[in-house]
Copies of this chain bind each other. A is one copy, B any other.
Amino acid sequence: MSDTITVGIYGAAGYAGQELVDLLAVHPQAGLAFATSNQDAGQPVPGTALTYTPHDAAPLESVDVIFLAMPHAASAPLAARAAAAGVKVIDLSADLRMTTPEAYEAWYGLPHPNPELLPVPYGLPELNRANLAYAPLIANPGCYPTATLLGLFPLLEGHALAPDAPIFVDAKSGVSGAGKAPKANTHFVEVFGNLSPYNVGRVHRHTGEIEQEIAKVDDTTGPLIFSPHLLPVDRGLLATIYVQLKAPWDATEVQALYEDCYRDEPLVDVLPAGQLATLKHAVRKNNCAISVTVPTEKTVVIVSAIDNLLKGAASQAIQNLNLMFGLQETLGLLKC
């Protein structure tokens, strides 16, 4: 194992960070060298022989690549330091996702900390694989964008959507998507037995990220109307997507379009016609499960399910790690 890739994780005690630690523990060619957490500094990193290091004390330059599971705005400066040191970066925050500093500022409400880094390849391998091979920096997608873009992609690529017609995405996420810090809206008593829409319409920050990536494939679509809901489960994300078509399609054609598009994708499962994707198709798995329904000849309902912490964060980051180092993309992600 002299060729092992050494990895550092910043923000390793959060939910996505913990998943990264677990995935690296079973990755055959990458090993965890350090894991940072200011809050848990000195505590053992579960499943490893390490203890958490404060962010500033981590030996950034000693590793081959870092994962940044940090809040936005805190992440980009670390990416810049790593880039300067020749260390590769996979950023799970939003800092490197928007193509321009202007777009970042529009959606995040503050100037980009390191505009010189942009643009960075968008790390959704099924849509952008070619740009990820051997990339020094990769922007790992958000959880909602991952489910939504994988759900829309075949129809976008087929230029099937009615121009200017809105795309309605009704998304539901488990509570781990809200992060590990205790807040009123993640208190058990508030969530239990409840379902809460939030940031409905065009205000959730992922709206901009999704529209940016849609436009790279088809720039004729109408606005994204995006309604996330907080779901009383710990993990998992399901997006129910409503689109309107330019021309009539029948169910068989749409099903075939999806199956053809994802036939060679080991981590995207298009369900057989007549089955519907559920949260359980994806929770604690590294895949995205997709079903398509064609209620009328000009409408399609796509259901796209992922684990928000895996395909929506950590396992997708491992896909990107593998691409970045020229390895088999699914290394460490499929059962042996």
Binding site for B on A (CB under 8 A): 15, 25-26, 47, 166, 168, 170, 172, 174-176, 180, 182-184, 186-198, 200-202, 223, 225, 227, 229, 231-236, 238, 240, 242, 244, 276-280, 283-284, 293-296, 298-299, 301, 303, 335-336
Q: A166-B244, A231-B231 are in contact. List 11 more A-B contacts (CB 8 A).
A: A172-B229, A182-B187, A186-B188, A187-B188, A188-B188, A189-B234, A194-B280, A201-B294, A201-B295, A227-B240, A231-B232
**Interchain CA distance A107-B195 in the complex, whole Å:** 30
Does B168 contact A296, Cβ atoms closer than 8 Å?
A: no
Residues of B within 8 A of A240 (CB): 170, 197, 200, 227, 229
**Interchain CA distance A236-B196 in the complex, whole Å:** 12
26 pairs, CB–CB < 8 Å, chain A vs chain B: A26-B336, A166-B244, A166-B298, A168-B168, A170-B240, A174-B189, A175-B187, A182-B182, A182-B187, A187-B187, A189-B234, A189-B235, A192-B234, A193-B280, A193-B283, A195-B238, A195-B279, A196-B276, A196-B278, A198-B276, A200-B240, A201-B294, A225-B296, A229-B238, A229-B240, A336-B336
10 closest cross-chain pairs (CB), A and B: A201-B295, A182-B182, A170-B170, A196-B278, A175-B188, A168-B242, A188-B191, A195-B279, A192-B234, A202-B295
**Interchain CA distance A283-B301 in the complex, whole Å:** 28
Chain B nearest CB: distance from A199 CB in Å?
9
Copies in the complex: 4
**Of the residues B175, B190, B299, contact of A189 by C-beta under 8 Å:** B175
Chain B nearest CB: distance from A224 CB in Å?
9
**Of the residues B186, B276, B335, contact of A26 by C-beta under 8 Å:** B335
Does A193 contact B236, Cβ atoms closer than 8 Å?
A: yes
Chain B nearest CB: distance from A194 CB in Å?
5
A189 and B187 in contact, given A225-B296, A278-B194, A296-B166 (Cβ under 8 angstroms): no
A176 and B189 in contact, given A223-B295, A299-B225 (Cβ under 8 angstroms): yes
Q: Which partner residue on chain B sits nearest A170 by CB separation?
A: B170
**Of the residues B193, B195, B225, contact of A242 by C-beta under 8 Å:** B225
Residues of B within 8 A of A283 (CB): 193-194
Chain B nearest CB: distance from A38 CB in Å?
15
Chain B nearest CB: distance from A56 CB in Å?
24
Residues of B within 8 A of A186 (CB): 182, 187-189
Does B197 contact A276, Cβ atoms closer than 8 Å?
A: yes
Does A172 contact B195, Cβ atoms closer than 8 Å?
A: yes
Residues of B within 8 A of A168 (CB): 168, 242
Q: Which partner residue on chain B sits nearest A200 by CB separation?
A: B293
**Interchain CA distance A101-B211 in the complex, whole Å:** 47
Residues of B within 8 A of A223 (CB): 295-296, 299
**Interchain CA distance A242-B187 in the complex, whole Å:** 29
Does A293 contact B195, Cβ atoms closer than 8 Å?
A: no
**Of the residues B166, B175, B202, B233, contact of A194 by C-beta under 8 Å:** B233
Residues of B within 8 A of A276 (CB): 196-198, 200
